[in-house]
Amino acid sequence: MELLAILAVGVIVYASWPSSESNQDSGGGSWDGSTDTSADYPPITDLGAADMTKVKLPADVSATIDKYAAQYGVDPNLAKAQAYAESGGKQSAVSSVGAIGVFQLMPTTAAGLGVNPNDQEQNIQGGVKYLSQLLTRYNGDQTLALAAYNAGPGNVAKYGGVPPFTETKNYIKKILGYLGA
């Protein structure tokens, strides 16, 4: 299996990794040193010009995302695309692993962010705040921030970029698709 890592400087690196599709730590691989300029994940640059017609969020969800995106310095289109990918913008969404609400926050993540994931406004605040923290951690690299949101920062560190999980790769592609990238 190949792993695509987009480094902060914009270099695209492919590496060979075990074909495990599990998001659990299962040992690592080694970078084979190869590089390629054809990207599965085109750079996300000007989200202000994104075609957001695919993202249909309830008006109150959209307005709340705008509020917290401004507060935490996150592009509102990125946050809206992520919320739509996570739950379709529905606070009632609960995943099979216990993630809750619009931004599908795990209870432990929500507690660390100081929010109640069962409250729609707090769920959105927590999701946008966490996205902001990840964007800061990865120097504004939106692809790595999305990968970490989905698979966890530990897996991004372990694999040196986007983890080789089908779910994570599809998650990033889905959000990029919503953004028209």
Annotated catalytic residue 86 = yes
3-state secondary structure 31-68: CCCCECCCCCCCCCCCHHHCCHHHCCCCHHHHHHHHHH
Assess contact for 123 and 103: CB atoms under 8 A. Answer: yes
Distance from C-alpha of 151 to C-alpha of 159, rounded to nearest angstrom:
11
Which listed residue (2, 21, 86, 167) is catalytic? 86
Assess contact for 168 and 147: CB atoms under 8 A. Answer: yes
In 3D space, the residue among 126, 156, 122 whose CA is nearest the CA of residue 4 turns out to be 156
Q: Which residues are catalytic?
A: 86
